[in-house]
Amino acid sequence: MIGRLHSVVLDAPDAHALATFYAELLGLEVSKGGPGDDWVVVTGQGYRLAFQQAPDLQPPDWPDPDRPQQFHLDVFVTDVDEAEPKALALGARRLPGGGGDFRVYADPVGHPFCLVWDAA
């Protein structure tokens, strides 16, 4: 092993706003940085996400291959029908695609993420 994963870092035109979205979506807390900061960190439950200011961000355009998703987070939920309206209320939007155990969304900046569950 060379090292351990320290952070997953997402670019955003407003780092604090996107950090707040993910903190609320995942039940974490903004632990470093605030409105207007170039670097904001969200932690909790053994996880760490970081957000860096990128005012000229060109977000992915799922499923357009000319602007691919670049990366995405899978967010495990026990009941997608309960979780989806909560994610949408935070500012997520549903995207095309999905399957028997996942649905695709965009965060408020346009990064794709999936709600995933065990489809028995």
Give the domain range for residue 62. 58-119
Q: How far apart are CA 46 and CA 43, in angstroms?
A: 7
Please tell me whether residues 33 and 77 are part of one structural domain: no
Residue ending a domain, choose from 57, 84, 99: 57
pLDDT at 119: 61
Interval 22-44: pLDDT, tens: 999 999 999 999 999 999 999 99
The total of structural domains in the chain comes to: 2
pLDDT at 70: 79
Please tell me whether residues 45 and 69 are part of one structural domain: no
pLDDT at 120: 55
Please tell me whether residues 4 and 53 are part of one structural domain: yes
Interval 59-98: pLDDT, tens: 899 888 898 877 889 899 999 999 999 999 999 999 998 8
Residue 49 sits in a domain of what CATH number? Answer: 3.30.720.120
Please tell me whether residues 27 and 51 are part of one structural domain: yes
Q: Cα 26 to chain center, whole Å?
A: 9
Give yes or no for residue 99 having a pLDDT over 70.
yes
Q: Cα 87 to chain center, whole Å?
A: 10
The region, left, alpha or beta by phi > 0 then psi within -120 to 50, assigned to residue 81 is: alpha
Residue with tokens 């029908």: 81
**Could you tell me which residue, 88 or 120, shows the higher pLDDT?**
88
Please tell me whether residues 84 and 42 are part of one structural domain: no
Q: Taking a C-beta distance cutoff of 8 angstroms, is the pair 33, 16 a contact?
A: yes
Residue 95 sits in a domain of what CATH number? Answer: 3.10.180.10
DSSP 8-state class, residue 40: E
Q: What is the mean pLDDT of residues 47-67?
A: 91
- Return the percent helix, strand and coil in the chain, to nearest 5: 20, 35, 45
Residue with tokens 């695609």: 97
